[in-house]
Structure formats: structure tokens, C-alpha cells
Amino acid sequence: MHILDTRLAQEIVTRTMRIIPFNVNVMDASGVILASGNRERVGELHAGALLALAKKLTVEIDTAAARKLHGAQPGTNLPLSVGGQLCGAVGLSGAPDEVRQFGELVRLTAEMILEQAALANELQNNSRYREAFVLNLIRNDSAHRPELEGWARRLGLDLERMQLVFLLELQPRPDGADAGAALHDIQRLQMRLLARREDALTATVGPSEMVLLDTWDPARKGYETTPQRRLDLLAQLVREECELPFTLAMGIALPGLEGAAISYQSARSASRLGRLRMPQQQVFSYYDLALPVLLSGLDSGWQAHQLRMPIARLAGDKSRAMLRTTLDTWFAQHENSAATAATLGIHRNTLDYRLRRIGELTGLDLARSEDKLLLYVSALLSPA
């Protein structure tokens, strides 16, 4: 076992020598001194430790025995094991009768430190394994499908359940910190969230971005299983743990292996469009932005050019900014003229004039459902 290293050996020496009046040496599984209260001995081969490791028993060396062993000093030496595996030894320098009573205390302390380190290492490895699984899942590489299914079984995850991805993005620091600081911030937040939700599947996907994969059985009914409820709970958790400005976006919930990848892409689109359309808002949902998200796939090609054309025709008018604000407000108010006029603080007749002007410039009849839909789509694809 390679859990015992110089850092842990020094921690054992430092902690035990605070409470006992004798020198402590910590050796690896080969009997080499890794740390000692007597720094000059570090790197030496410890004869007493070699005997304790070979016999897997406590070995005491008195003054007479020390003379027969090269470089040995009187004391007691105890083997160290973690998880049933021998990993090193600890030695106390001094007359055996004087140090014997402290030997078991030092060994217990040393093994406790090593066991904690082994557990932390196991948890870290498990966390990395889970993170790699999430990254591969949202990338939806069909070539790795058998591997992903195997990982899911090991994690106890049923891929036929509903898959829901959340995208959490930290906003740039006001002090202009670099990408390294941003990555540190997102990883620290990731650890805080994992401490609150140990079963969470998370992954860092950028210097200031992380995703959280949520799954549940679609056969279960009730408020707790709705995507909105899950978004509300996660948003509250993030607000409690995150000290920096952030945005949280939820994708579409879908079952199956491909569901997570689609959910991730929709969460990313919802985040981008939500921040563009509602910059003061912090939490976004695919379900609130379904049409803009679905239309975001038309960002290129001749079809996209034609769909943007109606709004583009407004650009030549000197009142284009006012007309665009009027149009966006009208759509936001579900084409209710009274509500639109009240929101804009204008007379109803003024609104009617502006809407007629929009119709003239775009060549569309706002009384026709098809023309109205085309104008709405054009507005969605053309940021103000």
C-alpha cells in the first residue's frame, strides 16, 4: 500500500511528539525513515523497523541489542497497517521500559491518520470517476455507449430514468481575476454542493462552469418529481453555498442514455438566451424558453437569413429602437394592446400607430396569425 508518504509521515511525527516526551520515527514498508523528530535520521534504513515489518509484530530493542544492529538505537517499533495491509512502521526512541506505554497510543494515532488519508483518497478517486462519467454522458459519444452503460451499472444509475441536466455558471469576478481563480471558485463550490448532496453527479465543464446531473423515476408522480420543483430546490441550495454571482439553467428532462446530452445542450441554450433576454434574472428554465431554445438551432443557413429579414427591415428606420421596444413589449404582453400601452406608458392610439408602422416596414400584416408568428420568430432570432 502506498498511502504512507513523507507528508503523512511528518504529520504523524508532529502530532505524536506534541503529547509524548520521546523521539518518533516513521518508516515506509521498506524500513526507510520518512520522517523523524531527529531530522538527521531521515532517509536512513531503520533496523528495528525492518524486524517489526518482517515479523509483523512489535519489536523492542534494548541497549545490548542496539549494539549488535548497525545504526540502531534503543526503543520500540510497531508495524502499521491500513485496511489489513502492512504499509510501514512507527518507532519510539528510548529505553523499552519507558517508551512501551506510549507505543500503542502512537500506533493508533498513526493508523487513524493513515485511514483518514486513505478514505479521502478513495472519495477523491470516486469523485473523479463520477465526474468522468458525467462528462462522457453529456458528450453523447455513441462509440462509448457500452462503457457508459457499464459505468452506470457500477454507480447504480438507471439510464432509462428521466435525465435532467443543470448548468451552473459563475459570473466574472469584479476584480478581474484570471481563469485559474475562476476554476478554483467553481471547484470549491462543487465540493460544497457534494458535501450537501453526496449522491450528486457533477462535473466541471469550463473554467467557471459546472453541470449537475439529476435523475428520477418517471413512474413516480407528485410535486417533488417535477422539473420546476427540482430547479427550485437546487437554486436554493446554490444560493446558500455560493458567495459569487451566478446563473443556473435547467435543460429539458428526457429518459434514456441520449437524454442527458440533449438536456445539457438545451440547458446551455436556455442559459445563453435567458441572459440575453432577461439579464437581471438568475435562474432560467428550458420550459420557460422552449421556443427560443428550439429555434436557436436555426442560427445559420438561408432559412435563418429569411427568418431574420422582417426585423432587419426595421433597421433602416430612424425610430428603429423605439419600434423594436414596442414590438418586444407587445409580444411580452401576449399582444394585449391595453397592457402594452400601459407598460410603455403611452396612449393606445400611439401604440396603434407604431404597430401599423412596424407592419409597413416589415411588409407583414399583424392581423394575420401566420405573419404575426413569422415576426415573432424573427424577433427571437434577432437580439435587440
**Cα–Cα distance measured from residue 163 to residue 228, given in angstroms and rounded to the nearest whole number:** 14
Residue 245: phi and psi, rounded to 5, are: -60, 140
**Cα–Cα distance measured from residue 351 to residue 342, given in angstroms and rounded to the nearest whole number:** 10
Q: Provide CATH code, domain 299-381.
A: 1.10.10.2840
CATH architecture of 6-121: 2-Layer Sandwich (3.30)
Please list the pLDDT of the chain residue by residue as tens digits (384 residues): 457 889 889 999 999 999 899 999 999 999 999 999 999 899 998 988 899 999 999 989 888 888 888 778 899 999 998 888 899 999 999 999 998 989 889 999 998 888 877 766 665 556 677 888 888 888 876 666 777 777 777 777 777 888 899 999 988 766 555 656 777 888 888 888 877 877 778 888 888 899 999 887 767 665 456 888 889 989 998 998 888 889 999 999 998 888 899 999 999 999 998 888 788 899 999 999 998 888 887 777 888 889 899 999 998 889 999 999 999 999 989 999 999 999 999 999 999 999 999 999 999 999 999 999 999 999 888 877
Say if pTM beats, i.e. exceeds, 0.75. Answer: no
Listed in sequence order, the residues at least 6 apart from 30 whose beta carbon sits closer than 8 Å to its beta carbon are: none
Boundaries of every domain in the chain: 6-121, 140-295, 299-381
The three cell numbers of residue 23 are 523521539
Classify domain 140-295 at the CATH topology level: Alpha-Beta Plaits (3.30.70)
